[in-house]
């Protein structure tokens, strides 16, 4: 079926007991040794790094992005699997998807239970990811976990410890895996991919600020004062806050800060319904609504926009493109 390259980055799938808790310390070859290979698949391993995914930095993620592109520069490669910690998998997968212009599939997977445990889920997840990478095309970046296939865009970690850890709360399941077969149920919609960004000496700071009862602009203003070039405002409901936060957003945008608006509600789109500090006013102030993308992926979209352009107006246009909110931006993969 094909030649698959596995890029190992750590996470629970590569974790062992450290005396007081689990941490990633196994290399990719050790991880691969735990899993059976689907028939007619050959595997090569790239040991990129081995860290717990909460410790990932923008530099780690951009290195992963460039490594995927370097691997796919070889026409004899049929697909890529990335083993990754589940805590920030949704962010890294979405970053790669934003810049993925190749018909060959990149599949992210990981585990909720450490390697070597009797009930570990890593081997089965890795087998399924290899099968998916070898048998799908033109779908962008996917997440394979617990016998299910998800599009990178919109998929988030929905369970802290349960094995079926990922879902897109706003969309139906993309595909499923069973009895050695991958069945796709629909085709995901993806915007045109962004160009591969340069590796900056110092990545731009992008912060997230959540609104809540009694919320005020203190943390948003602090992010601007700390040098944030981008901010994701996590509103309530369909993307709402207060008039005071609207004023702070308008001031931040006036200073060249790129602001995206999402919501803390698990499912459904940011929608301009309410004024008096709601999404109507926030969008009018210049915040870019993120549709159904939630905070972690909205932050990645802002980061990609900042890396793509220097002019604030162009950054906002790139962000809209990354979010799929430009006219005719969404195309079938």
Strand ranges in 131-215 using DSSP code E only, listed in sequence order: 141-145, 148-151, 156-157, 166-167, 175-178, 181-184, 189-191, 206-210
Q: Pick the catalytic residue: 12, 34, 236, 292?
A: 12
**Who contacts 284 (Cβ-Cβ below 8 Å, separation ≥6)?**
none
**Who contacts 107 (Cβ-Cβ below 8 Å, separation ≥6)?**
79, 80, 81, 82, 129, 130, 132, 133, 141, 142, 143, 144
**Who contacts 127 (Cβ-Cβ below 8 Å, separation ≥6)?**
35, 36, 37, 38
Nearest Cα to 215, choosing from 293, 298, 294, 277?
277
Q: Do the Cβ atoms of 230 and 260 come closer than 8 Å?
A: yes
DSSP labels for 228-268?
Answer: -SEEEEEEBTTTB--HHHHHHHHHHHHTT-EEEEEESSSSS
Q: Do the Cβ atoms of 101 and 193 come closer than 8 Å?
A: yes
Burial class of residue 25 in the structure, from the number of CB atoms within 10 Å of its CB (0-12 exposed, 13-18 middle, 19+ buried): middle
Query: Is 183 a residue of the active site?
Result: no
Tokens of 92: 């890294």
Cα distance between the two ends of the chain: 22
Residues with a known catalytic role: 12
């Amino acid at each position: 079926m094909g030649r698959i390259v596995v890029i190992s980055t750590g996470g629970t799938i590569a974790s062992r007991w450290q005396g007081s808790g689990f941490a990633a310390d196994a290399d990719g070859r050790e991880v691969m040794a735990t899993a059976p290979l689907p028939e007619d698949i050959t595997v090569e391993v790239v040991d990129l790094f081995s860290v717990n995914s909460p410790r990932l930095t923008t530099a780690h993620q951009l290195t992963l992005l460039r490594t995927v592109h370097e691997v796919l520069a070889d026409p004899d490669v049929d697909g890529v699997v990335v083993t990754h910690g589940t805590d920030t998998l949704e962010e890294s997968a979405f970053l790669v998807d934003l810049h993925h212009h190749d018909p060959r599939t990149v599949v992210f997977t990981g585990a909720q239970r450490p390697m070597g445990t009797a009930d570990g889920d890593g081997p089965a997840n890795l087998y399924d990811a290899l099968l998916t990478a070898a048998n799908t095309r033109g779908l962008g970046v996917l997440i394979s976990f617990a016998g299910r296939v998800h599009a990178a865009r919109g998929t988030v970690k929905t369970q802290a410890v349960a094995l079926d850890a990922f879902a897109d709360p706003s969309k139906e399941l993309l595909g499923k895996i069973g009895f050695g077969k991958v069945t796709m149920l629909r085709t995901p919609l993806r915007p045109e991919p962004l160009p591969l960004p340069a590796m900056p000496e110092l990545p731009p700071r992008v912060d997230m600020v959540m609104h809540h009862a009694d919320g005020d602009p203190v943390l948003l203003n602090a992010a601007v004062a700390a040098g944030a070039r981008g901010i994701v405002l996590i509103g309530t409901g369909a993307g709402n806050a207060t008039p005071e936060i609207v004023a702070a957003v308008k001031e931040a945008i006036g200073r060249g800060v790129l602001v995206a608006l999402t919501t803390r509600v698990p499912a459904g789109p940011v929608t301009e319904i309410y004024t008096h500090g709601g999404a109507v006013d926030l969008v009018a102030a210049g915040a870019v609504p993120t549709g159904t993308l939630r905070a972690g992926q909205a932050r990645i979209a802002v980061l990609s926009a900042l890396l793509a352009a220097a002019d604030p107006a162009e950054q906002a246009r790139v962000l809209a493109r990354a979010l799929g909110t430009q006219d005719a931006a969404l195309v079938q993969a």
